Structure 1
């Protein structure tokens, strides 16, 4: 059996060969995660200074990457004097709605054992407390991590838990439109008719992800609306330094690997609504969307989100679709029939004090009291 090796790599030091092995891991991962793909994360390091502190814990075997966990070092763990490492560093805490580490499905046990073994060795310079945020709270990865911690004797504390909107092909719930309340369904149908009457054309949803010019249309449409208003803190790509350049790289990289969809709702020649979907494995994630504000009175975002779900189920092979909506967005979240649980966990990988901290019930209660709400939504997907 070939040996497993683990090491830390600065994000800025990743070589082209390493990036290739990393990209291959994304689609093999137990929990596919496009936000930890090189197309997304590595390209960000070229344009955004907020990525400068990210280290990649890489586990390899037979010249193949089998696990990857991004970490940023922090000085004080939520009011304690203990240093810690977290996935929620300056960049990922705001720009990654999923922080599940990449773990090879076929080698999950050995990959996680190698990862925890590396973290347990103080010579590697990683703090003894490791926080993993925005991790699916059920499913194969969560179970595999739990089992690996048990094997290694590593206490794991769940610090936060919440649910967000989701679409699961395996759900036995009705079709997306049928799953809406009767009043909401009638509202969507009425708004659709009024929009079609106003434009004189039927609404058509199509995927323009293969066309690089479609992303330029998205950027311009977003900038023309409230998200492009700096005074409203809209956060459009065009008004965020480096964002257009970064996302041009993102879309180019994902398009090359057939992992990009740009769903576009049109009425004749008019683009009404657009949604940027990032893919990995059998999952799709809608990181940001926008609409033409000339049609605002017809609620194109509502119509678009419903038709987007129908497109995903009817015209893609994706098993899961996550619109990446913060639960506080009650209205948009109500358009989705399913829910997914996300948790934040802390691992005490070594040392008496960190392990006592994680195992202490009174301390656990105090730490939970410090958690304010749930992780912040990316500005681009607020609606």
Structure 2
């Protein structure tokens, strides 16, 4: 079965597996004091600037929880999109583990705007309200859209003007870079982002993400936050070696660019089909498509994908999605929709004939 359910469904890139095997030689000091993790700092600084410091962790929820803890007090709140992973898909972990309050805001296509933020950026000195301290953005968003550097800069200026920090959930940050055609720092460090979660698992790694601190003021105690959040990897060399393989070269960009291209290919093959709607701009590796219910039911028998809570189906592509995979899904979808339209037309003609017959009788 071809899978378009999630880029988490994919395996690991061959280069990543080779890096793990190469790191599996001899002994290294544990808990991040190995040579791979030391080298990794220079690689992250090359991408994000001289002040950047990376903390490898196990998974994306852990990275987000640690980053938000670093940027908030115990009475703090985080403004985010209503579709944000931190409020929809993390089982309440930011609130339960970090002890903060999430303030989700309805958005268009999953992207916060300055006006959206203004709806919750108030009550900073009201003891009856959790104090907004962070604006959290997803890049790319959960709906497959991408913020430009200018959009992030505008949000950061407003957030910093209120004394708030900017966190970026970058589970698919590489896909955003591939879409924008810009270096990672252009829409993070240079745009005013203070701290981010950097994703590796969705872009070809076996496991592992990283908390990347861009503002050194947020680095105080982050190593202890990582430990107390149960995200300190003992044999960290195997996570860091993967990041080195991904980032010390262009593998990260090739993988993400391919995934994006496959999503664009898939959307292009569906756009001219009557009765089919692409619900959100296709800017990364996600296609949200509305199809007749009968067509969706038929496709579920052949392909893995999710029906999104807001209505459309979500088709995700990954670094190992092939053009043939895309064409099979698109062809099956077109055939299902065409068959249903033909069947509905025949039923309509049959009903019309029966009405004429009754009228003539």
Bin for the TM-score computed over the shorter chain: under 0.3
Whose strand proportion is higher, 1 or 2?
A: 1
Structure showing greater radius of gyration is: 2
TM-score normalized by the length of structure 1: 0.25
